[in-house]
Structure 1
């Protein structure tokens, strides 16, 4: 007799107001069942899947950066879009390009690949899929995570935010679900295949800080320590 797959369990106790989204009662059980049946290792660890939401409660979000899915390399993904877990052996090319644009835009050289300090300043680093099979880009695109993305963006539509949307997928999702008067910075994705088609030179970090300053809000420290 084949043993039943081990359940894929999430701790939702740290989600705060996000826990009220219908997704967590209506959709997450089916996703958890799908992850339990996944034969391949799943990234990131269950305790890190909702890290971005845990770090950025709805009312604290000033800036949204919308990514695609977690890095599929073991040791990289830790629940924040574009961010890499501390201690990673190398940087993904897209993050290297983000750092290059930070330096060109702001004149500072960021070295820390863990972007959770942005999250603590009200930057929601959200992927449109929150898990990925190890080694398989976009492997969980159809698992059902898009319903969470839609609900999160709807929740953020109530007042103006700055939305940094790199690539067509992020732009399409935001066009559908993020309504209202927001700053929308839409450029090519920072991946090596697209960065020279409009990402480099777009100055998203200074644009965002200028928009925040015009509203009497403190800037984001993009450079870190």
Structure 2
């Protein structure tokens, strides 16, 4: 994806989520940062998968938001859906733990043999990370580069336009996002 294509794509997302007014420079800053990072290091997820979370579920259909810190930072793991990995990739420990919790809490839950969560997303579960990119083998390496403002605005928009959304903010980093959730209309935890 070229720099101009990346900027256009982010502007389209901002317009979709009615966020354009929120940050006039964020798209350019993030595009410059990511262009530089991709030249010097391996960045996950692949460029064409960073915004996969926008394609599986329409804004008005979101019922649950699962928010993580940042994408998996191992090879072939991150593909744009938080906590998800493509079929054929072993589920990482965090996802295995999620499955264990679901199995202990939900009678009859059958743990899938894979970690591909697209089916969840298609049912209204937004799988979003606070930061949408990460350097290989360096967790949280893209913290404070602009993604947090972007995802704050995404969460705020969902919170303002949808009612009864359950926000699952797992980990201390993700829990900071509770401040942008409209608790009169939605549930955070």
Query: Could you say what secondary structure the match of 1:163 adopts?
Result: strand
1:161-187 Cα deviation digits (max 9, x unpaired): 11112112222212x1111332223xx
The alpha-carbon deviation at position 12 of structure 1 amounts to 2.6
**Higher alpha-carbon deviation: 12-21 or 116-125:** 12-21
In structure 2, what is the Cα distance between the partners aligned to 1:8 and 1:91? 35
Partner of 2:164 in structure 1? Answer: 160
| TM-score, structure 1 as length reference | 0.72
Partner of 2:9 in structure 1? Answer: 12
Partner of 1:28 in structure 2? Answer: 27
- Maintained 8 Å contact 1:7/1:33: yes
Query: Which structure's residues are more often helix, by fraction?
Result: 2
Partner of 2:177 in structure 1? Answer: 173
The alpha-carbon deviation at position 149 of structure 1 amounts to 1.1
Partner of 1:85 in structure 2? Answer: 86
Find runs of 4+ consecutive structure 1 residues off by over 4 angstroms. Answer: 13-17
Q: How many residues align?
A: 178
1:30-86 Cα deviation digits (max 9, x unpaired): 111111111111111111101112222221111110110000001000001111122
The alpha-carbon deviation at position 134 of structure 1 amounts to 0.8
CA root-mean-square deviation: 2.2
- Maintained 8 Å contact 1:15/1:54: no
**Against the structure 1 CA distance between its residues 135 and 83, is the aligned structure 2 distance closer, same or farther, given a 3 Å change threshold?**
same
- Maintained 8 Å contact 1:70/1:131: yes
In structure 2, what is the Cα distance between the partners aligned to 1:73 and 1:180? 35
Query: Could you say what secondary structure the match of 1:87 adopts?
Result: coil
Query: Could you say what secondary structure the match of 2:167 adopts?
Result: strand
Structure number with the bigger relative contact order (C-alpha 8 A, sep ≥ 6) is 2
In structure 2, what is the Cα distance between the partners aligned to 1:131 and 1:59? 25
**Against the structure 1 CA distance between its residues 56 and 15, is the aligned structure 2 distance closer, same or farther, given a 3 Å change threshold?**
farther
1:175-194 alignment runs, 5 A limit: 176-181=179-184, 182-185=186-189
| TM-score, structure 2 as length reference | 0.84
In structure 2, what is the Cα distance between the partners aligned to 1:16 and 1:143? 17
1:1-225 alignment runs, 5 A limit: 7=3, 9-10=5-6, 12=9, 15=13, 18=16, 20-22=18-20, 26-38=25-37, 39-88=40-89, 90-106=90-106, 107=108, 108-158=110-160, 159-174=163-178, 176-181=179-184, 182-185=186-189
